[in-house]
Amino acid sequence: MQQVNLGMIGGGTVGSGVFHAWQKNGDLLAARLGIKISFRKIAVKAIDEPRAYPIAPELLTTQWQEVVNDPEIQIVIELVGGTGIAKTMVLGALAQGKTVVTANKALLSAHGPELFAAAAKSGVNLYYEASVCGGIPIIKALREGLVANQFPAIYGIVNGTCNYILSRMKFEGADFATVLAEAQKQGYAETPPDLDIDGHDAAHKTGILGSLAHGFWVNHHQIHTEGIREVSKIDMEFAAKLGYTIKLLGIVKQAAVKNPGRKTLVQVSVYPALIPSAHVLANVNQVFNAVFVRGDIVGDTLFYGRGAGKDATASAVLSDVADAAQDLKHGNQMRVPPFVPTAQAGKVVPLDEVISQYYVRFSVVDKPGVLAKIAAIFAAANIGISSVFQPEGDEGASVPLILMIHDAPNAAMRKALARIAKLPAVKAKPVMFRVENLE
């Protein structure tokens, strides 16, 4: 049986998970592939650092160059993360003619085209299934299973930390700060938690999905990104009364803009949105991820599972290793290249041009004429109000006023809210979330 040798850089939580999964099911992999997969060397920060699963000490080194430069190693797994030294490692491995498997969504988001060009120059492949949604095979689904489709819309719950926080806020009526603190204690959220709760992790993943779906590599600086810090308990309650659930969504969809004659215009965004509570995505809770994909031929499909963790990620990494091993078995002939540019003129539409529906909450003085003044500003901006909800309060006191807004461009909505915020009767910054009906 042909043998393929692996080297791995990173032996922490995910790295030890990959090694453990290989120990458990390596023989099964060999039987299914007709290829024996063997670890030759694993680079770690420290030999004696604590690990979720033990790694055979004779495989360990503290010098990552020993992995990249070893002529017997054919596939390098990069699990370091970040966009600094990890980029040097990946480019070094590709330059040595080694196939690379990575889980590094930040690196791909920032430097994807450069990495793909380096792989092509060396005639090797770059695999990255584990970079998006852990154990959910969404990369393979878009590149292979749904290759005959165009993708009018993709909606993803792609960050487990945010989904855990929002799920608890919904079901327990808890506030954001309390749930975040508990999530950090339980290890679901990092300290500091900014990468997750400010939407940046979700943006890396959403950009990769958008790139694969529409054939041009999305510039991560062009992804409009909002996190969940502004989501409050009161918004969860009002959304539920209106038949909605608030989720942090990664959104990739053909843009609804005023100038539809332009081609390959795509909205790529991350923000908390109201979605219908009856929709399947609204019922994805706790740390689970899900990606809802609409294909023009296949219709609607849903991919659901654990989006992070040592075991889910290990499953995706070893899936890529299996594909890479089959490439090598057939003379390094790539069945599927890492990325195929099919829309060089593609463009991410600025959010100001995107048309959406909206939920808006104001804190206003409860007195006659306030709603009329707010409605007049919206009317002057050609923005229609679809419904109004206001709990009873004492006259003269500050009360919440909730408006559901018809389709309107984001720029018009933003400017109207800035005007409304200056009204004397408006006592706090307006809170606005977009509504995605997923139709």
Confidence (pLDDT) at 336: 86
The whole-number pLDDT of residue 392 equals 77
Taking residues 169-184, what's their average pLDDT? 94
| Whether residue 140 lies in the annotated active site | no
Burial of 382 (0-12, 13-18, 19+ CB in 10 A): exposed
Model confidence pLDDT, tens digit, residues 79-110: 999 999 999 999 999 999 999 999 999 999 99
In tens, the pLDDT along 276-328 reads 999 999 999 999 999 999 999 999 999 999 998 899 999 999 999 999 999 99
Q: Is the pLDDT of residue 432 over 60?
A: yes
Half-sphere exposure of 115 (CA within 13 A, CB side): 29
pTM (predicted TM-score)? 0.95
Q: Is the separation of the CB atoms in 69 and 46 below 8 Å?
A: no
Given 41, 105, 170, 205, the catalytic residue: 205
End-to-end CA distance of the chain: 51
% of the chain surpassing 70 pLDDT: 97
Three-state secondary structure string covering 194-238: HHHHCCHHHHHHHHHHHHHHHCCCCCHHHCEECCCCCCCHHHHHH
15-24, 52-61, 151-160, 257-266: segment of lowest average pLDDT: 257-266
Q: In angstroms, what CA-CA distances link 238 with 234, 360, 395, 428?
A: 6, 11, 21, 17
Whole-angstrom CA distances from 66 to 84, 92, 427 are 19, 11, 62
Per CATH, the architecture of 355-435 is what? 2-Layer Sandwich (3.30)
Task: Please check the confidence at residue 256 and state whether its pLDDT lies above 80.
Answer: no
Q: Does the pLDDT value for residue 268 go beyond 90?
A: yes
Phi, psi of 227 (to 5 degrees): -100, -160
In sign, the C-alpha dihedral spanning 143, 149, 153, 154 is negative
DSSP 426: B
- Architecture, CATH, for domain 2-139+310-329: 3-Layer(aba) Sandwich (3.40)
* pLDDT for the residue numbered 1: 85
Contacts with 4 (C-beta within 8 Å, 6 or more apart), sequence order: 35, 36, 37, 38, 74, 75, 324, 325, 328, 329
Q: What is the mean pLDDT of residues 170-191?
A: 91
**CB neighbours of 55 closer than 8 A, spacing ≥ 6?**
11, 15, 16, 19, 42, 44
Residues 353-386: tens digit of each pLDDT: 999 999 999 999 988 999 999 999 999 999 999 9
Integer Cα distance of 346 and 268 in angstroms: 12
Asked whether 22 and 75 are in contact (CB, 8 A), the reply is no
Share of the chain above pLDDT 90, in %: 88
Question: What is the mean pLDDT of the segment spanning 343-348?
Answer: 86
The average pLDDT across 122-133 equals 96
Q: Could you tell me how far CA 115 lies from the centroid of its own chain?
A: 20
Q: Which residues of 152-180 are buried (b: 16+ CB within 10 A; e: fewer)?
A: ebbbbbbbbbbbbbbbbbbeeebebeebb
Cα dihedral 20/26/27/32 (nearest 10): 140
Decide: helix, strand or coil at residue 42.
strand
Q: pLDDT at position 259, please?
A: 52
**Residue-level pLDDT at 34:** 96
Domain boundaries in the chain? 2-139+310-329, 144-306, 355-435
Q: What whole-number distance in Å separates Cα of residue 344 and Cα of residue 349? A: 15
Averaged pLDDT for residues 34-60: 96
Q: Which of 360-364, 368-372, 391-395, 423-427 has the lowest mean pLDDT?
A: 391-395
Mean pLDDT of 192-212: 97
Distance between CA atoms of residues 226 and 245, nearest Å: 17
pLDDT of residue 401: 96
439 pLDDT above the threshold of 90: no
For 156-170, what is the mean pLDDT? 97
**Mean pLDDT of all residues belonging to the chain:** 94
Would you call 25 exposed, middle or buried from its count of C-beta atoms within 10 A (0-12, 13-18, 19+)? Answer: middle
CATH topology of domain 144-306: Dihydrodipicolinate Reductase; domain 2 (3.30.360)
C-alpha closest to that of 119 among 102, 95, 140:
95
Q: Which of 390, 379, 385, 393 is nearest to 359 (CA)?
A: 385
Sign of CA dihedral 171, 173, 177, 182: negative
8: confidence class by pLDDT, cuts 50, 70, 90: very high
